[in-house]
Each structure stands twice: as structure tokens, then as C-alpha cells.
Amino acid sequence: MGTEEAPREALANLRDVGGMTTAAGQVLRAGVLYRSDMPRVGDERPAVTFTWPPPTVVDLRSAVERGSSPHPLSLLGSEVHIKPLLGEETGRASSSLGPDVLAGGLRALYNTILDIAAPRLVEIVDLAAEAPGPLLVHCAAGKDRTGIVTALLLRLAGVGHEQVIADYLATGANMPGVLRRLKGHSLLPGARSGPTARAVTEVSQEAVEHVLGVIDGVPGGPEAWLLERGGSQDSIALWRKRILD
């Protein structure tokens, strides 16, 4: 008697940001920007209308989370760009991301990411503007780091706060499936168990509102915030041209 194959799973927190609207009434194109949890070898093809696997993938996880195996989507032909927002590759992260930060909840965590990982965010906007699309951005759960990157890209495109927050909060309903898929993996460096681990598996409207307050809190809004951190006006313009109908 032959052995049965294990059922293939789908990504638990994948979505296309297409269809959102800007304050000016423009609609975001579908098939340009996907966000998700961590892909795994053997995942079933998701029910997306456009190209899969995506030509360009941005992996926000640290080296500890990634391990030594190739990225699953690189095996299918995607070009994977490693852009850790937490962990040793961010330089300052290893000294900044301690138990006190994680114990401070999601607002403290997100504030730390905006502080230490701004150069990575600039690089990601450059990729979103010019790399072959569709672009997939993911971390482990597709919630915190992916949420910050997506919020920045949406705000640069002109999407209002209400829709950005709703997109972030949509992960809440997907977390049971995400956690099932992540069993045995670390969600974040330093978040192994107890109250800290519970906090980073939750969604927090207050935390994402804080992110929006930071990137909108300088004269000129998100565009100025990015430019002050080394961003390119050309990349912002190209990103808007790509994502907006």
C-alpha cells in the first residue's frame, strides 16, 4: 500500500492590496503588491489573479528565522531580496531589540523598527518602484514588519489612514492559521514565550496608528519622512505611477 501525500497548505495571511482608493479617488492596481506570512516549500499555489510566484520577493526576517535553507520561492524562480527589519543585519537592532522593547508591546516594537530599520525601508521603496512585479513582502506572520512596510507603501501612494488600518487589522482573523503554520518557528528574535510572545501574535490598532502618526508627523507627511531618511523622490514617483490607476 502506498503512502498518502500530506495535504498541501496555502499561505494563511496573503492578500493583494489592489482595490484600495486614495484621498484623490485613484484606485490601487491589483497584481502589483502582495503581502503575506512566510512561504513554505510545498505550499499550494494561491488563488491570486496575477503572476505567481511573484518575480520579486522581499523577506523581512532575520538570519535566525530564515535558517540555512533556500527561500521556498527562490526555488520557483523568484528573486528574493533579504531586508531584515529586526535582527543582526540591521546593525543597531541587536543592541536595540532587547526584552524591554518586546515587553513594551507592539507600539514599542513598531517604534523601534521605524528607528533602526529606516535604511531598509528606503531600500524596499526603491525595490517597489523598480523591481519586476508583482512584489511580495513577507516576514514570519505577515503582521508586524510586513504591516509597517505595507503601511508606508500605502501612505506613499496616498491611501488614507482608515484603509491602512483596516488592512493591518485584517491579519487578526488569519492569525490562527498563521500560528498553525509557524509551529516550531520563532515569530521574532527574542520572542519565544510568555507575555512577550503573546503580544507579538496580536494585532493592535493603537500600534499601527502610532506608526501612521510617526510617518505622517513631519511637515510633508510620509514622503518627507522617507526623504529625510535617504529616500529618493524618483522612487516615490515611480512607485505611485506603478500602483495607481
What's the pLDDT tens digit per position in 24-74? 999 999 999 999 999 999 999 998 777 899 999 999 999 988 999 999 999
- Give Cβ neighbours of residue 24 (< 8 Å, ≥ 6 apart): 158
Cα 134 to chain centroid, rounded:
14
10 is a domain residue? no
pLDDT of 193-230, one tens digit each? 555 566 667 999 999 999 999 999 999 999 999 999 99
Average pLDDT over residues 123-138: 97
C-alpha cell at 122: 528606503
The SS3 call for residue 93 is helix
Q: So what's the pLDDT on residue 86?
A: 86
111 is a domain residue? yes
Q: Give the residue, 19 or 103, on which the prediction is more confident.
A: 19
Maximum Cα–Cα distance for the chain, whole Å?
69
8 is a domain residue? no
Specify the number of domains making up the chain.
Answer: 1
Alpha helices, H only, the chain: 63-66, 93-96, 99-103, 105-116, 118-130, 144-157, 161-169, 175-181, 194-199, 205-215, 221-228, 233-243
Contact between 158 and 26 (Cβ < 8 Å): yes
Q: Give the residue, 1 or 176, on which the prediction is more confident.
A: 176
What is the rounded distance in angstroms from the CA atom of residue 124 to the CA atom of residue 231?
10
Residue 215 is part of a domain; what is its CATH number? 3.90.190.10
pLDDT band, very low/low/confident/very high, at 100 (cuts 50, 70, 90): low
pLDDT at 91 over 50: no
CB count within 10 Å of CB 49 equals 9
5 is a domain residue? no
245 is a domain residue? no
Sheet holding 135-138, edge to edge: 15-16, 33-36, 135-138, 56-59, 79-82
Q: Which domain holds residue 103?
A: 15-239
- The helix/strand count (H/E) of the chain reads as 12, 5
pLDDT at 79 over 90: yes
